[in-house]
Structure 1
Amino acid sequence: MAMNLKNSSSGGNLTSSPSYNSFSSLNLSGNSFNNGSGSGSGSGSGSNEYIPLCFSKDVFTSNTFEVDQFISDCRKRVNLESVQKDLREYSKHLDSELIELINKEYQSFFSLSTSLVGFDTILNEFSISQSSIKSEIKSFNNEIVKVRGLVEDKLNEKKSIEQKKKLLQLYISISETLNNMNHLFDQLYQLTHPNDFKKINNNNNNHTNNETNINDGDVLELLIDRISNSFYQIQNQMSSLTNDELKFNIFQSLSLKIMDLSNKIEEKVEPIFKESLKRFINVNNNNKEIVDDNNEKQNKYDERILLVCLKTFQTIDKLNVPYKLFKTLIVKPRLAQIVSLRNLEINKSTTDGLSQIYNSIIEFLKNQCSSFFDISNLINNNLKEKQSNNNNNNNNNNNNNNNNNNNNQINNNSNNNNNNINNNNINNNYNNNIILYNNYNFISQSVLPEIDESLGFFKQIFATGIPDLFYKNYYLTFNFIQSIEVNFLTNKELLTQFRQSSSYSSLWKKWNFAVYFQLCFTNIAQHFEFNYLRIPLFDQLTLPTNNITNNNNNNNENNNEFYLKSTDGLRLSMDKCWSNSNFIFDLSSKFFKLFLQLIARYDTFISDTLIPLELELQQQLQQQQLQQQQQQQQQQQNIGDSVIKITPKSPPSLSNQSPISSSTTLNNKQSSPENFIYIISDIYKIKSKISTNYKELIIKTIGNHQNQHEILNLINDGILESCKTLEQLIPRISIIIENHLISKCLEPIEIISTLRSTYRMTNKPVPTKPSIYVSNLISPLEILINNKASSLHFIPPEIKLNWAISVLTPVTESFKNAATNLIQSVTQSNDIINKMVKKSKPTTTTSGGDMSDMDKISLQLYLDVDKFGLYIQKFGINLLTFEPFLGLKSIVEPFKKLILNQNK
């Protein structure tokens, strides 16, 4: 097939080669082209478009076009020669389109070429002008930089001068304040001259003289307050300095002067505070007496003086001075009178007076010192308000600083630097205010150290070797400290300082908790060990009496809650751990550990009793298995001889589990394995108490704590683990009980083999009732569960059901094996006898009818098995799901027709 592409501008055509035409019909690229008429010839109108065959023309305009990828894609479809030819044809097509476009827009191209004539000259002139402007701008910029540098130097110089000026002004201001304070000290000296001071502080009965003294006292209060404020002002001014500025000589000298000033203030104010404190406390000591107006005014005056003095000591950061004075002048003399050997030992060699000593201290603090504490609390509240205001002011200043910084961005650098200096000063002042002030806490710094020191002289208070006295005195001290906290430390910060003080720690370190707990541990643990655990388990077992009614039984159970003395001893020992006469909160973890150890010791006591029984039981089971193997071998060897005899002897036990003899280890008459049921009852009772009553008691006794959630988890985990340990005893005891019951229940199983001799050639009538041995198979289990276990309400029903299943499973299997062996033995004997006498019917028949001896034996087995199933149902076992009985039932089920035939 031929293909022609005509160029409208040149009139030429492009003819594809034969090799190229061979691919035209395949349309490999998925593209098609339209030549206008469909005949393959161009129309000359320029509407024909060339479309390559082996690639898309859009691939060249793609942003991800790569030559290697393009060649690789094309090679997958055609060979390289076809690609090359197709590219040439497409290139020629593009050239023809370009020529056509030029011809079509020729007028536009011509106009463009005409308009560009002389344009290069214009561009050259513009370039020269631009270079000239650029050089001018560059030179102007250099001048600006020089001027800017000069201006910045001048501004920095001005800034330095202003900063030095401010420092000089600050120095002058501080110096003037120091000079003013010296004048204040002179006035204070004149006012507090010994003669004048006595006159001011003397309590005269003359009303006129007293009014004069009070007026002078107002001046004294004002002077101390001015001294305090002036010193505070100096501190704020010094705090505005940076570390580098403080290194200047003038400010170093000022720092030394300020230190001397602080000592001078202390020296001047201390005697005033001392005298006012004595007078103020003495007035409060006599508050029960009638005081006149003059004394009341004097008391108000002393209160104001104490307030300004405390404020001053707080300002100069010397709180230890009023602490020391209050302790030495007020607390120590009074405690020396209260805490004495005479008051402590009301009765000789006792500490009966400790409670009265603590009450006297509380009364002293309430009656004589509470007013002074109110003054210190007032200062603390003012400090709190001041700090709160400073916080608000600081926040406002920060907001203003942010606004100023935004506005100052368009201002000069000098203003910015000045604003930054002012802002730093404000922030430094704020931080300094926080550092300067500390709360007063006279309880933790003056009262408690003296109490700790006074009590330390009397070692008998801490009674390390006497647990009861130790506990009594400890809780008296604990309640005393708690009373101080409640009455005088209402502020949370003061309470924290009180509990973190060294005197608080020292006071509690005097109580030797380790020795006390060791004594409690010895008392509780040894009493439990020697009084309860040294007695053999069954010797301490108290069995309930039989000849009592249900009501009496319930009353007996209430009076004697546990059957084992060791269980009751465990309860008493656990009670002691959390009793009000032993428990101390600081030993909570140790008492809880002792609580768990007591439970573990009780568990070990019972477990040690079970170990020899379990070993003996294991040995008996091994002997039983060996005997069974020997019996089976002997039975297989002698089976032929045993079936030839017409009346053989009763074979050995046909059960798969021979009876296990009672334990020889237990020689007590109460040590029957059946009595283990009372031990299980005790375990369930004490486990219930531990998981409910004692858990609530422990949580209530320990009380709320910071790590309450963590403590609750520890308590829950410990109690849960202990209860699991006790529960693990139940299966071990159950195995002993079950094996004992199995041995008892299997004792009548050999009677099954006697059915052969009962009906073999004896002309016995047809059986209509089950054998007596059936009830004997169930009797031991029935007595235990329905009689003994029925009165023990703490034994869960599922445990009783498990016992019944565990016991009846091997009993039923033994019943099945015995019945199977009996049927096989009788059948084989009949077959042999029939062969010997060559008769077609059984040797003997009953006189009452046509039923053979074999049928009678089979019918008796059916009646026995049916009755046995009724007994099993009484224990709550579903016969339809009890596999051992289903197997037994399947053996005798064919004999049911004998009953039907007899009824006919």
Structure 2
Amino acid sequence: MADPIPAATPPRSATDFFSDPLDSHPLWFKPSLFLSANFDSESYISELRTFVPFDTLRSELDAHLASLNHELIDLINRDYADFVNLSTKLVDVDASVVRMRAPLVELREKIEQYRGSVDRSLVALRNGLNQRSEAASARETLELLLDTFKVVSKVEKLIKELPSMPADWSNGDADLAEKNSTSNGISTQHVENGTNLRETQSMLLERIASEMNRLKFYMAHAQNLPFIENMEKRIQSASLILDAILGHCFTDGLEHQDANAIYNCLRAYAAIDNTRSAEEIFRTTIVAPLIQKIIPHETSAVVAGSYTDELENDYQQIKQSIDKDCKFLLEISSTENSGLHVFDFLANSILKEVLLAIQKGKPGAFSPGRPTEFLKNYKSSLDFLALLEGYCPSRSAVAKFRSEAVYVEFMKQWNIGVYFSLRFQEIAGALDSALNATSLVPVQNVLSAQGISLELTLKQSVTLLESLRSCWREDVLVLSCSDKFLRLSLQLLSRYSNWLSSGLAARKVVGNTVSSPGCEWAISAVPEDFIFIIHDINFLAKEICGDYLERVLKLLSSCSADVLDSIKQSILQGGKSLKDLVPLLINTIIEALVEKSIEDLRQLKGITATYRMTNKPLPVRHSPYVSVVLRPLKALLDGERATIYLTRETKNELLDGAATEITGRYYELAADLVSVARKTESSLQRIRQGAQRRAGASSDVSDHNVSDTDKICMQLFLDIQEYGRNLSALGVDAANIPAYRSLWQCVAPPDRQSTINL
């Protein structure tokens, strides 16, 4: 047995940690593609050479070939015994191959012969099928042409059976009756009067229309054929004659309200897809004369009558006319399963004529320049459209009516955007004008436009409430713009709130900077004026969050629950923004009262001059200024405005706040006065003691004398006792005020500091 084939040294080792593994290849080199059935070496190389250099590709292929050879040698060495025995088993292989090749070659020749025969048969079959298809198409075209010719001839024949002049048959003459008793098989006894004649003619016209419909179908499938082109004149002539006669028949049926004749004519119009002609005939024959009487748009008629742009009375008359003279046709066209749903007499006949009459006879009705009249006409028009929609037999008919071009054009005439702009200027301008006043304007016995007492005290507040209610008045609100009116309402509340907050802010800086425009009212206002504002704010907030909110939600009840909840929250937030201003107003009143009280409290500085370097004894009664410190607060609380317009809670809040602030300022002034007095006393005492030591006098000469500081503190103690009694008279316990307790401990004698006793 031969020795195994020595393995060639591979270029790389699979276990070489300092080089790539044996089976490592670039991402672009995929050996698996070589095993695919449709692998093509040339295309493979051409694709790779677009982005891989040729040398790199050749190196990679050489390396792959070396690895394959190495793998092959490994396989042979692994099964070397079987590989060697393989050659001993392959005996006379060539002879076996020759024996097997002969029948295979013969089989291939037979198959090629059969394939050729099948291909020839298939070509012959396809040619036959093409010829048959062409023949069938030619036959179909020929039949179509023959049917077209027959239909044209039939239509012309049926048209000849109709009277040539509509005036001949419109009155039911006897001669015309004889003329119509020919090939139709209609006996003279069936056309004794005009009604039977109209019905007969309408039935014949419906038949002709159905044939014309067939003719249109044939023409649509036989376009560009010479035969059809030669017959176009005959077809057009028949179509024109049919339209004219059908129009006269339909007009006559409308004038006599012949339901059968109208029904047949409408079916004829529907068959030839000419609904516009029927709608136009109805408009000019029936609707136009009625509307012309109600809304004349001729110059002479307009001048002769009383000219007004109001439409409500006109719509009432139009409604009566529709019910009397148009309802019969609307009922016929809405007959169930009649196929007449393609007509829209409501839009293209009635509404079109009404729109034309208003545009020519009353163009001012569409003008939003007069908002009240405009809104009245707009709502009347919506009621009129609702009446027309009531004649629609189904929801789909209503949707079709609203999608008509005439309906869209009619709605475009009402410029709701301009109307809202004018109302916005009117409502917002009234409030802005009131808020721009340089001072608060009190009012009494205020009545709203509806005669309801508003219980408000200021013109600015009255104007706000009137403006808010105007947004939702029946003669102002347009439901399609309800979102805009809601936004306007919230803007009005915001404008009023900003007016108040800006004024209060300007009041605090009036001494340092020039006041902003529109804030003069706050600077010139006295504390009693802010009582009016507090009352008005409480009333407005209650009204907005109560009856006003309920009215808005009732008007918008058709909205979804989520929308209504959003509306409710936005209005409640507007009311809350007003309530949030009450503490600021109370603080403003307190600041004004404190400023007045400080002017009197500054008199306590005179106590130092009274007892400094004097021989006055200890004081036994309070100072005169104490009695007037709380006088502004008491005058405010006992005044008429506070009694009438402030609630008990507000008065208590105002009283407690003012008492606390005044007491705090009182403590600051008194503590500063006592501190200065004690420092001065200490300095004088040291100077006096130094002088006595230099003179050799005893240092305790004045130990038994009462100092000036003690006298000052005693005077302040008597003053704060009286001040505390004045607070108690107002209903405030002075002991509950931290600043008062501090003041007491600052000036009270040592034996009385632990207990406050007035």
TM-score by length of 2: 0.66
Query: Does 1:361 find its partner at 2:213?
Result: no
CA contact (8 A) 1:468 1:581 kept: no
Deviation at 1:719, TM superposition (A): 9.8
CA gap of 1:877–1:857, structure 2 versus 1, over 3 A, is closer
Give the whole-Å Cα distance in 2 for the aligned partners of 1:255 and 1:878. Answer: 115
2:123 to 133, 136, 149: 149
Q: Any idea what the Cα deviations from partners look like across 1:75-120, whole Å, max 9, x if unmatched?
A: xxxxxxxxxxxxxxxxxxxx99999987xxx7x7887654333345
Deviation at 1:198, TM superposition (A): 0.9
Give the whole-Å Cα distance in 2 for the aligned partners of 1:169 and 1:188. Answer: 29
CA contact (8 A) 1:465 1:515 kept: yes
CA contact (8 A) 2:714 2:749 kept: no
Give the whole-Å Cα distance in 1 for the aligned partners of 2:281 and 2:270. Answer: 15
Query: Does 1:330 find its partner at 2:286?
Result: yes
Q: Any idea what the Cα deviations from partners look like across 1:466-502, whole Å, max 9, x if unmatched?
A: 9488358625742652353244345445545555556
- Alignment-derived partner of residue 272 in structure 1: 249
CA gap of 1:129–1:710, structure 2 versus 1, over 3 A, is farther
Deviation at 1:571, TM superposition (A): 2.7
CA contact (8 A) 1:830 1:842 kept: no
The CA RMSD over aligned residues, in Å, is 6.2
Give the whole-Å Cα distance in 1 for the aligned partners of 2:457 and 2:365. Answer: 42
Deviation at 1:313, TM superposition (A): 0.9
Give the SS at the match of 1:382.
Answer: coil
1:171 to 139, 145, 148: 145
Query: Does 1:843 find its partner at 2:703?
Result: yes
- Percentage identity across aligned positions? 18
Aligned 1:135-146 pairs, distance under 5 A: 136-138=110-112, 140-146=114-120
- Alignment-derived partner of residue 743 in structure 1: 595
Q: Any idea what the Cα deviations from partners look like across 1:191-211, whole Å, max 9, x if unmatched?
A: 989379715899xxxxx9678
- Alignment-derived partner of residue 43 in structure 2: none
- Alignment-derived partner of residue 231 in structure 1: 212
Q: Any idea what the Cα deviations from partners look like across 1:346-400, whole Å, max 9, x if unmatched?
A: 9985659965543332122112321211111127x5338xxxxxxxxxxxxxxxx
CA contact (8 A) 2:540 2:575 kept: no
Q: Any idea what the Cα deviations from partners look like across 1:398-445, whole Å, max 9, x if unmatched?
A: xxxxxxxxxxxxxxxxxxxxxxxxxxxxxxxxxxxxxxxx72111222
**Structure 2 residue ranges without an equivalent (≥5):** 4-12, 26-72, 178-187, 447-451, 693-697
Query: Does 1:319 find its partner at 2:275?
Result: yes
- Alignment-derived partner of residue 38 in structure 2: none
CA gap of 1:835–1:891, structure 2 versus 1, over 3 A, is farther
Aligned 1:424-823 pairs, distance under 5 A: 439-456=342-359, 458-459=361-362, 462=365, 467=370, 470-471=373-374, 474=377, 477-478=380-381, 481-482=384-385, 484-496=387-399, 498-499=401-402, 504=407, 536-538=438-440, 540=442, 561-583=455-477, 613-614=507-508, 616-618=510-512, 671-683=525-537, 685-686=539-540, 689=543, 694=548, 697=551, 737-750=589-602, 764=618, 780=632, 791-793=645-647, 813-814=668-669, 816-823=671-678
Give the whole-Å Cα distance in 1 for the aligned partners of 2:397 and 2:343. Answer: 8
Q: Which amino acid aligns with 1:675?
A: D
Give the whole-Å Cα distance in 1 for the aligned partners of 2:454 and 2:582. Answer: 22
CA contact (8 A) 2:443 2:458 kept: yes
Give the whole-Å Cα distance in 1 for the aligned partners of 2:249 and 2:199. Answer: 13
Query: Does 1:115 find its partner at 2:67?
Result: no
CA gap of 1:341–1:820, structure 2 versus 1, over 3 A, is same
CA contact (8 A) 1:277 1:306 kept: yes
CA contact (8 A) 1:452 1:507 kept: yes
Give the whole-Å Cα distance in 2 for the aligned partners of 1:750 and 1:543. Answer: 43
CA contact (8 A) 1:745 1:777 kept: yes
CA gap of 1:869–1:97, structure 2 versus 1, over 3 A, is farther
Give the whole-Å Cα distance in 2 for the aligned partners of 1:97 and 1:573. Answer: 102
- Alignment-derived partner of residue 238 in structure 2: 261
CA contact (8 A) 1:749 1:815 kept: no
1:304 to 260, 264, 272: 260
CA contact (8 A) 1:524 1:576 kept: yes
Give the whole-Å Cα distance in 1 for the aligned partners of 2:618 and 2:629. Answer: 24
- Alignment-derived partner of residue 134 in structure 2: 160
Give the whole-Å Cα distance in 2 for the aligned partners of 1:68 and 1:738. Answer: 90
Give the whole-Å Cα distance in 2 for the aligned partners of 1:879 and 1:709. Answer: 50
Deviation at 1:303, TM superposition (A): 1.6
Give the whole-Å Cα distance in 1 for the aligned partners of 2:423 and 2:84. Answer: 121
Give the SS at the match of 1:616.
Answer: coil
Give the whole-Å Cα distance in 1 for the aligned partners of 2:271 and 2:78. Answer: 101
Give the SS at the match of 1:378.
Answer: coil
CA gap of 1:215–1:740, structure 2 versus 1, over 3 A, is closer
Give the whole-Å Cα distance in 2 for the aligned partners of 1:192 and 1:665. Answer: 85
Give the whole-Å Cα distance in 1 for the aligned partners of 2:557 and 2:573. Answer: 20
Q: Any idea what the Cα deviations from partners look like across 1:694-728, whole Å, max 9, x if unmatched?
A: 565556557858x998999799879968986x789
Give the whole-Å Cα distance in 2 for the aligned partners of 1:303 and 1:100. Answer: 106
Q: Any idea what the Cα deviations from partners look like across 1:628-674, whole Å, max 9, x if unmatched?
A: xxxxxxxxxxxxxxxxxxxxxxxxxxxxxxxxxxx999998xx4245
Q: Which amino acid aligns with 1:182?
A: E
Q: Any idea what the Cα deviations from partners look like across 1:715-774, whole Å, max 9, x if unmatched?
A: 9879968986x7897788667545423323433544665676669976649x9x999978
Q: Which amino acid aligns with 1:744?
A: K
Q: For this pair of structures, how many residues does the alignment match?
A: 664
- Alignment-derived partner of residue 156 in structure 2: 182
CA contact (8 A) 1:699 1:712 kept: no
Deviation at 1:155, TM superposition (A): 2.0
CA gap of 1:690–1:98, structure 2 versus 1, over 3 A, is same
**Structure 1 residue ranges without an equivalent (≥5):** 1-9, 11-56, 70-94, 203-207, 281-301, 385-437, 545-557, 622-662
Give the whole-Å Cα distance in 2 for the aligned partners of 1:664 and 1:321. Answer: 71
Give the SS at the match of 1:580.
Answer: coil
Q: Any idea what the Cα deviations from partners look like across 1:179-199, whole Å, max 9, x if unmatched?
A: 333333344449989379715
TM-score by length of 1: 0.57
Give the whole-Å Cα distance in 2 for the aligned partners of 1:602 and 1:507. Answer: 39
Give the whole-Å Cα distance in 2 for the aligned partners of 1:834 and 1:901. Answer: 35
Give the SS at the match of 2:343.
Answer: coil
Give the whole-Å Cα distance in 2 for the aligned partners of 1:518 and 1:198. Answer: 62
CA contact (8 A) 2:626 2:719 kept: no
Deviation at 1:543, TM superposition (A): 13
